[in-house]
Structure 1
Amino acid sequence: MGRNTRKRRTPPVAKAIAAAAALALGGGGLLWANFHASAHEPDQRAWGGDRTKAATAQVATVSCPDVGQRLTNVPDAARQGVARELAGLDRQIAEAYARLAATRDAQAKDPGFVRNAIVGPLGEKRAATIDRIRIGIQRAGGSFDNALAQLAPCTTRSTDRTDAGGGQQNGDGQQDNGGRQGGGIGGQAGNGPVAADFVDITKVAPNVQGRPRRTANASTGTFTTRCGVNANKNHNTDNVIVAPGVTNGAHHLHDYVGNQKVDAFAGDRTFLQGGTSCENPGDLSSYYWPVVRVQDGTRDFDQNADGGGKEGNAGRILTPVQAEIKYVGSPAAKVVAMPRFLRIITGDAKTTTNGLANANAHWSCTGFENRVQLTERYPVCPQGSKVVRSFAFQSCWDGRNTDSANHRTHVAFADPASGVCPNGFKAIPQLTMRLVYAVPPPVIRNGRVQNAYAVDGFPEQLHKPATDHDDFISVTRNGLAGRIADCLNRGRNCA
């Protein structure tokens, strides 16, 4: 791992266009299942002043409708082809964002440049891709909603609509004035985060809600599985759930614990042969999440790689000091065992452009988890406290499918007030995860952040905290899935 402490360099996001042309209760009081439904934290300002805005409403990012979330009925025979086309849409957006970041001078000279040279051509590419999706679905005997063709056009978001401030970091982790080196919007790679993405957690009012009251039929046990913190640095930028067969389908780097043979080309048979980092050899499940980086000017191993520095994921990768994985029961029902190969994604990697409907990010600090959970801000923790990322996965299953076309409709969250699953869904063990990091506290000076930390993400999502998400593939053997459910139903605490 090298360091660059003097030389000012071109943001890696800008380099990406050249490459394109030549993306509960776990530990300290995590609420059981309903983070997705709870009110998001108040609009806290970064301490020391109001949000930073650019002097002019500079275009910050491209915003495209998420086609994948609208696809709810894709024939099995068409799913892999459709997944490849959806990954192509993500690649097109990443390339368009890279061009946006690399052409600030041209944009300043020509008000129509973004529309004519970036957003317009992007919409045309997307229209062709969506039509290929239509053809694939119809050839497999499925029906296609022609309204999806209207999702091809994209728009832009300006800095004043994304909380983006002017300026970017140089190799020392200090901020340059906005406009230099292409006029980034903050961050070591010029694509965030910014000062307004952080808040002093000691100044946030308590916002954690209580759990639903347990019924007589509640499953009150817990089952903990110990799988390590990815100390062996098992990383890749694939996403086998969303983009099977597509290298760099995530456009950001993941930590993997549990199953050790997970990449874009892995299948169910691979998972059964993959080995595991978990202490229980029957737990071959894959638990994976985007890495967290400190933007202190350090250039990590993937500084020149797709999904890494070339796509705006820059800085020093942090390994969690703790990774607690726990299954908990339902306050309203007994649980059924998870089916083998069940896939669940919680949260939304694209909330910057999709909005918060599927957000399930929860950031806090040790000592504050029972009081404060943040979705739209990264916490700045007091001395002696560590940063915590928490996840509470969907805990209701449709009883039939291990995945769905949009990777969401086969599972659901329970009702936040009662804990009851929707009609037609069964309660399953709820996966909760708690990741703890020793993060050097960022510093806000004059409305700008120095030595920020941020979660990896798609380049156009600007490293917003709400984009945090987590992925899971349930793979067990030797009857482990049944033992987990039995443990919860009997009210035991197992490991």
Structure 2
Amino acid sequence: MHHWLTLAAAAALMANGAVAQFNMLRFACSQLVVDRIDPLVNPGVRYSPHLHQIVGGNSFNLTMTPVEYDLAKLSTCTSCSFAQDKSNYWTAVMFFKHKNGSYHRVPQIGNGGPQGKLVNNGGLDVYYIPSGKVTAFKPGFRMLAGNAANSDDGQVTKGNICHRCWTSTSEDNFVGGAPCTGSDTVAIPANPQCKMIRQTIIFPACWDGTNLDSPDHKSHVAYSGTGASGGGACPSTHPVKLPQVMYELMWDVSQFDQSMWPASGSPFLYSMNLGGSAAHGDYVFGWEGDSLQKAMDNNCNLNTDCAAAGITAQKPEVYNACTIDQQAPEPVDGWLASMPMGEMAVRA
């Protein structure tokens, strides 16, 4: 997501004789660890059903009970650029399937564009998009977007979870319009012209105001429209407007030449051994104190210090250095004999 938000907001205000900046947080989060654990969906399970890439606070653990586990206090560093954000964000991992049957994790890079380049060592970019007055998440809040078991593209709202074919290896060469519009697809593009694939995951922006979580990690929140607009008016069942969280991932597929592709089926799969219909993101809130609320109230913008909220953007060498060891040890880099599922993965 780049200039379209600023331009859209400015255009709307210019009609009334004013010009203003569309303010939102947009920042980089580097890889904390790639690990087969999931404290949201499979708490306490070592070697969970599929592999995740995790970013954020280094207190990320096998089991993170909401009431007892205060990420902001327990984390000593974060792999995200804002020092005050000890939240954890994670997604499934994209793999390339070679025609010989082996698998390779698709590398990730940061994003560029008119709003500035974000530097990532793996990981993803995070957005907090306000729409009017919003209420920041409370300690212990967590949610899930998408369904890791879904194999039907038609069951996914393309306006909230999508993929885009990027025909350049330069992320600065912006392609298309707003996220999850135009030619974006639920399915992972299988086009040899794609040099990168951008994945977008947009979370609900309305909350019931009571529950920090729910059994399915979804029922306590609700969507109010589609797209990265901050969301519309909230329904009466979920009346509290939240900052809209969006993940943006740039998967670099340029090294996987078409000569390596399997004879049939998509060469790109997520770590559930499923396609784009199963794309999903997990979120566990962990900002220090009321720093996120202040950032929203004071129109803090992009990836820069904001004194009014007391938030500070770290240099890449600082947040890149925040990593942890796997808690379900197995190889995840290089060519693997099979997808990391079931038993511990082994190299090809």
Identity of aligned residues (%): 20
Any idea what the Cα deviations from partners look like across 1:365-389, whole Å, max 9, x if unmatched?
Answer: 2344423211034242626x42111
Q: Is 1:433 aligned to 2:247, yes or no?
A: yes
The aligned amino acid for 2:103 is G
Larger % of helix: which? 1
* Mapping for residues 198-347 of structure 1, pairs under 5 Å: 220-228=22-30, 230=31, 234-249=33-48, 251-268=49-66, 269=69, 271=71, 272-274=73-75, 275-296=77-98, 315-322=103-110, 323-330=124-131, 333-347=132-146
User: Gapped runs of 5+ residues in structure 2?
Assistant: 111-123, 167-173, 305-348
CA contact (8 A) 1:344 1:403 kept: yes
* Mapping for residues 312-461 of structure 1, pairs under 5 Å: 315-322=103-110, 323-330=124-131, 333-352=132-151, 356=155, 360-366=160-166, 367-370=174-177, 371-380=182-191, 382=193, 385-416=195-226, 419-423=232-236, 424-440=238-254, 443=258, 448-449=263-264, 452-457=267-272
CA contact (8 A) 2:148 2:278 kept: yes
The aligned amino acid for 2:210 is R
Any idea what the Cα deviations from partners look like across 1:406-436, whole Å, max 9, x if unmatched?
Answer: 1111111113498211114211111111111
CA distance in 2, matches of 1:450, 1:406: 31
Per-residue deviation at 1:284? 0.4
Secondary structure of 2:151 counterpart? helix
Which residue is 1:482 aligned to?
Answer: 293
Q: TM-score, normalised by structure 2?
A: 0.65
Q: Is 1:463 aligned to 2:251, yes or no?
A: no
Secondary structure of 1:257 counterpart? strand
CA contact (8 A) 2:206 2:234 kept: yes
CA distance in 2, matches of 1:436, 1:354: 21
CA distance in 1, matches of 2:153, 2:264: 25
CA contact (8 A) 1:403 1:410 kept: yes
CA contact (8 A) 1:442 1:449 kept: no
* Mapping for residues 5-16 of structure 1, pairs under 5 Å: none
CA distance in 1, matches of 2:153, 2:189: 19
CA distance in 2, matches of 1:214, 1:412: 27
CA contact (8 A) 1:337 1:484 kept: no
CA distance in 2, matches of 1:363, 1:354: 12
Say if 1:485 and 1:270 are closer, same or farther in 2 by CA, change over 3 A. closer
Say if 1:357 and 1:434 are closer, same or farther in 2 by CA, change over 3 A. closer
- The number of equivalent residue pairs is 262
Say if 1:354 and 1:410 are closer, same or farther in 2 by CA, change over 3 A. farther
CA contact (8 A) 2:165 2:189 kept: no
Say if 1:416 and 1:361 are closer, same or farther in 2 by CA, change over 3 A. closer
CA distance in 1, matches of 2:95, 2:4: 25
Say if 1:382 and 1:288 are closer, same or farther in 2 by CA, change over 3 A. same
RMSD over aligned CA atoms reads: 3.6
CA contact (8 A) 1:335 1:429 kept: yes
Secondary structure of 1:475 counterpart? coil
The aligned amino acid for 2:280 is H
The aligned amino acid for 1:325 is V
The aligned amino acid for 1:259 is G
CA contact (8 A) 2:92 2:271 kept: yes
> Based on CA coordinates, which of the two structures has the bigger radius of gyration?
1
Secondary structure of 1:374 counterpart? coil
The aligned amino acid for 2:276 is P
CA distance in 2, matches of 1:239, 1:214: 42
Say if 1:445 and 1:335 are closer, same or farther in 2 by CA, change over 3 A. same
CA distance in 1, matches of 2:245, 2:286: 13
Any idea what the Cα deviations from partners look like across 1:3-23, whole Å, max 9, x if unmatched?
Answer: xxxxxxxxxxxxxxxxxxxxx
CA contact (8 A) 2:99 2:262 kept: no
CA contact (8 A) 1:325 1:432 kept: yes
CA contact (8 A) 2:139 2:286 kept: yes
Secondary structure of 1:481 counterpart? helix
Say if 1:401 and 1:451 are closer, same or farther in 2 by CA, change over 3 A. closer
Q: TM-score, normalised by structure 1?
A: 0.47
Any idea what the Cα deviations from partners look like across 1:353-402, whole Å, max 9, x if unmatched?
Answer: 7961577531102344423211034242626x421111111111111111
Say if 1:438 and 1:430 are closer, same or farther in 2 by CA, change over 3 A. same
Per-residue deviation at 1:491? 7.6
Any idea what the Cα deviations from partners look like across 1:427-486, whole Å, max 9, x if unmatched?
Answer: 1111111111210356399993489222111xxxx5222111111111011432212321
User: Gapped runs of 5+ residues in structure 1?
Assistant: 1-25, 31-209, 300-313
